[in-house]
Structure 1
């Protein structure tokens, strides 16, 4: 039963980041998350793919391109 929905705290623990960072990444970096009622939930495989594609990179190229415009 590994394909369950994870909470903000669980995904933060998994990634080794604080819950405030999780919320920041959702709003500013497009971290894949699903809002269910008032709660954010995550699929680990979606987050893994997002991290692998550079979504969590500090100062990633898309952020840099947006600042240059």
Structure 2
């Protein structure tokens, strides 16, 4: 029996497991970040959901800027 490949997440609101899969973070880390209000989330009654667009903005806002490229780095000396 051939199993279909899982389809990419296409809904706008994601649950904890989907956010964990989407970001590569563990569900425990996501729960911790929610409790510390370090990640954008939506409360719908007792449900915690994540708006994909807000999550993408949050991820983009946490990108680290590169100071210089490898092409401009001085070559390493032997033994250093």
* TM over 0.5, shorter chain: yes
- Residue 29 of structure 2 is aligned to residue 21 of structure 1: yes
- Structure 1's unaligned 5+ residue stretches are 58-69
* RMSD after superposition: 2.2
Report the alpha carbon displacement of residue 40 of structure 1 after superposing the two structures with TM.
0.7
* Partner in structure 1 of residue 50 of structure 2: 42
Runs of 4+ in 1 over 2 A off after TM superposition: 27-30
1:41 is paired with a residue whose SS is: strand
- Structure 2's unaligned 5+ residue stretches are 1-9, 65-80
Equivalent-residue separation in structure 2 for 1:16 and 1:42 (angstroms): 15
Name the TM-score, length of structure 2 as normaliser. 0.58
Query: Per residue, is there more helix in 1 or in 2?
Result: 1
Equivalent-residue separation in structure 2 for 1:4 and 1:11 (angstroms): 11
Asked if the contact 1:3–1:43 (Cα under 8 Å) also holds between the matched residues in 2, the reply is: no
